[in-house]
Amino acid sequence: MVKAEAVHKSFGRLEVLRGIDLEVKPKEVMCIIGPSGSGKSTFLRCINHLEKIDAGRLWVDGELVGYRQRGDRLYELPDREVCRKRSEIGMVFQRFNLFPHMTALENVIEAPLHVKRESRASVDALARKLLERVGLADKIDAYPNQLSGGQQQRVAIARALAMQPKLMLFDEPTSALDPELVGEVLDVMRGLAEDGMTMIVVTHEMGFAREVGDSLVFMDGGVIVESGKPRDMLAGPQHERTRLFLSKVL
Amino acid sequence: MRHTWRWVGAGIVLVIVGGVAYTVATAPYLHWDVVWQFLFNQLVLQGVVLTLELTVVAMVIGIVLGVILAVMRLSPNPVMSSLSWVYIWFFRGTPLLVQIFFWFNIAIVLPYVGIPGIPHWSISTNILIPAVVAAILGLGLNEAAYMAEIVRAGIISIEHGQTEAAQALGMTRLQVMQRIILPQAMRVIIPPTGNETISMLKTTSLAFVASVEELFTRAHEIASSNFRVVELLFVASIWYLCMTSILTIGQYYLERYFARGAARELPATPWQRFRRLLFTYRLAPP
C-alpha cells in the first residue's frame, strides 16, 4: 500500500529525513516510534504530500506521491491531481484541527459533500453512522469547543473516515489528550484495525503498538534504526539506541 | 448606596451633556426652524439616497476586490503577490481626493476607449465614466486597498492546522479559502469592516469634488442659496448620524452570527436583556 525508497527531506539546512525505506502492506497497521525531532511526523506528512520530498521515491497504492514519471524524469503533479490523491488518504492530527465554525456533523460531511460531491442525503446518512461508530451519536450538533479532547479527536477520525480512505495516517493522535481520555480514542483506532484498515500510526503508546500493531518502526535522526514485529522489538531491541529509548518510555 | 462614585460620575457627565445640549438648542443665531424645514426636504432626501447608494456600491467593490487582493498577496506565486503589493502601495499612498479627481478627469489621460484597428468601435471616456461612476471608482478602488489588509489580517489569524486539515481531506486551495479559512476569518474581519463602512458613509462627501449630488453636496448647494451654512450642515450631520446608527446595529448582529462556534453560548442581545429585565422585575415580590 505504501512504499518508500531512500526518502530525503530537508528544511533549509536541516536534514529531517535521511533516506527512509519501508513498505506497508494492505491491512497492515504500522506504528512508528522515536524521540521528538526524529522525523516521524515529517515522514507521515510526506505520504499525503503535505510536505514535498527532496529525493527518493514514495508510492501510495502503486502511484508516485506528488509526481508523475515519464521516461526517467519526474514531473510535478498539478494541484488538482494532488488533491484527488490526498482525498484517498485520511489523516488525524495531534491537535485535532476540527473546523471550529462547524458542528460535529458539518465537520464530517464537509469533504464528501464538497470534494467528492456526493449527494447530501447519502453523505448525511454516512456521517451519522460514522459518528455513531465513534460513540458520538448524541453530539452530532455540538460545536468542537463544546466537546472534550477525546470527543474532538473521535470526530476527527470520523471526518477522515467519511472520505472512505484506503489508508489512514495518525500523527500522535493521543499526545494532546488528558490521560483518562486516551483510552476512548485508542479503542476507536483498535476497532478500525480490526476492520482491516491500513494504518500508519506515529505514537508514544507502546501498549497500543504491542497489541494492535503488525509492525513497529523506530526512527531517530531521520533514519530508521530498527524495525520488526512489535512484541519482539519491545521485548528485545537489537540496537543500543532503541534500547535506550525504550528504557525511558516503557 | 452601592457604587456611590459611579452615580456621582454619571451625575457630573449628565450635567455637562445637558449644558452642551441646552447651549446648542438655545443658541441665539442658530435657526433651528431652518434645520427642521430642510431635514425632510426633497433635495436632501435625494442626497441621502445617493449617499447610501455610493456607500453600498463602493463597499461592495472594496470588499470583493479586497478579498481578491488579500488572497493574491498571500499567494505563493510571486507575480500575484507583488501585483497586489504594488496596488495596495499605490492606492493607500495617494490621497483619495486626488484619486476621485483623477477618475473624474480621466479623459485628459484617455479620451477614448476602443479596440485598436477597428473603426467606430470606440467610446468617449467622458460618456463611459460619468461623475457618479468616477466617484464610485475612486471610493471603491481606494477602499479595496484598505480592505485587502483587513482581510489579510483575518486570514493570517487562522492557525495553520486548519489549512492542513482541509488539504488532507483533498480540498483545493480555493475550497480551503472559501469553506474553511474565510468563514473563520470573518470574526476578525467584520469589526474593522464595520468601521470602514461607517467611515465610507461620510467619505462619500468627497464626491463633492466631482459634483455628485450626494447628501453633503446637496446641503452645500442649498446653503449657498440661502446662506444658512451651519443649519444645513446640521441637517446633513443628523442624517449621517441616523445612517451610522443603523449600520452599527447591523454590524452587531453580523458579528453575533459569525461568532458561532467561538463562544460556548452567545451573549444575550440588548433587546433580549431588556426583556429579561422586565420579566424578572415582574416576578419580583412587591
DSSP for B45-94? Answer: HHHHHHHHHHHHHHHHHHHHHHHHHHHHHT-S-HHHHHHHHHHHHHHHHS
Per the listing, cell 461612476 goes with B133
Grid cell, residue B59, equals: 463597499
Q: Which residue of B has its CA nearest to A78?
A: B172
- In chain A, the residue whose alpha carbon lies closest to the alpha carbon of B169 is A87
Chain A: give the shortest CA distance to residue B170, in Å: 4
Residue A204 binned pLDDT confidence (cut-offs 50, 70, 90): very high
| Contact (CB, 8 A) for A136 and A104 | yes
Give CATH for domain B32-259.
1.10.3720.10
What local confidence, expressed as pLDDT, does residue B284 receive?
A: 55
Residues of chain A neighbouring B172 (CB-CB closer than 8 A): 79-80, 83
* Residues B169, A159: C-beta atoms closer than 8 Å: yes
- Determine the distance in angstroms separating the CA of B164 from the nearest CA of chain A, rounded to an integer: 7
The answer to whether the CB atoms of B170 and A91 lie below 8 A apart is no
pLDDT at B263 > cutoff 70 = no
pLDDT at A3: 94
Whether residue A228 contacts residue A209, with contact meaning beta carbons closer than 8 Å, is answered with: no
- With CB atoms and an 8 Å threshold, state whether B164 touches A114: no
User: In this predicted model, what pLDDT tens digit does every residue of A19-73 receive, in sequence order?
Assistant: 999 999 999 999 999 998 899 999 999 999 999 999 999 999 988 998 888 888 8
Per-residue pLDDT for A203 more than 90? yes
CA dihedral B143, B154, B80, B175 (to 10 degrees): -120
Contact list, A97 vs chain B (CB under 8 Å): 161-162, 164-165
Residues in chain B: 286
Question: Model confidence over B120-153: pLDDT tens digits?
Answer: 777 888 888 889 999 999 999 999 999 999 999 9
pLDDT of B28 > 90? The answer is: no
Mean of the per-residue pLDDT values of chain A: 93
* A87 lies within 8 A of chain B by CB: yes
Q: With bands split at pLDDT 50, 70 and 90, how would you rate the model's confidence at B154? A: very high
Selected residue of B75, B157, B160, B169 to mutate for chain A interface (largest A Cβ count, 10 A)? B169
Neighbours of A143 (CB within 10 A): 21
Percent of chain A whose pLDDT exceeds 90: 88
Which one has a higher pLDDT value, A196 or B108? A196
Our CA-based measurement puts residue B232 at a distance from the nearest CA of chain A, in whole angstroms, of 47
Strand-pairing partners, residue A70, are: A73
What are the residues facing A91 on neighbouring strands? A169
Q: Share the mean pLDDT of chain B.
A: 90
Cell of B219: 446641503
| Percent residues over pLDDT 70 in chain B | 95
- Would you say residue A75 has pLDDT above 90? no
pLDDT score recorded for residue B264 = 60
Instruction: Provide mean pLDDT across the span B154-178.
Output: 94
Give the residue from chain B lying closest to A164, CA to CA: B169
Over residues B38-59, mean pLDDT: 95
Contact of B231 with B31, CB cutoff 8 Å = yes
pLDDT at A160 over 80: yes
A50: contact with B, CB 8 A cutoff: yes
pLDDT digits (tens, 9 = 90+) for B219-258: 999 999 999 999 999 999 999 999 999 999 988 888 888 8
Q: CA B228, B231, B236, B240: dihedral to nearest 10 degrees?
A: 160
Q: Do A114 and B165 touch (CB under 8 A)?
A: no
**B interface residues, A as partner, C-beta within 8 Å:** 161-162, 164-173, 175, 179-180, 183-184, 258, 260-262, 264
Q: Measured on CA atoms in the order B219, B220, B221, B225, is the torsion positive or negative? A: positive
Q: What is the mean pLDDT of residues A183-191?
A: 95
Residue B276 is predicted with a pLDDT of 77
Choosing among A60, A101, A147, A164, which should be mutated to test the B contact, i.e. which has the most B CBs within 10 A? A101
**Residues forming beta bridges with residue A170, ordered by sequence position:** A92, A201
Residue A86 scores a pLDDT above 80: yes
Question: What is the Cβ-side half-sphere exposure of residue B96, based on CA atoms within 13 angstroms?
Answer: 22
* Consecutive H or E run containing A37: none
Beta bridge partners of A220: A223
Query: Is pTM, for the whole model, over 0.90?
Result: no
ipTM: 0.92
Residues with Cβ within 8 Å of A35's Cβ and at least 6 positions away in sequence, in order, are A220, A245
* Mean pLDDT, residues A170-194: 94
Rounded Cα distance between A187 and B215, Å, is: 68
Look at the block and give the residue holding cell 446648542. B24
Check pLDDT > 60 for residue B286: no
Q: Domain ranges for chain B, please list them.
A: 32-259
Q: Tell me the pLDDT band of B283, cut-offs 50, 70 and 90.
A: low
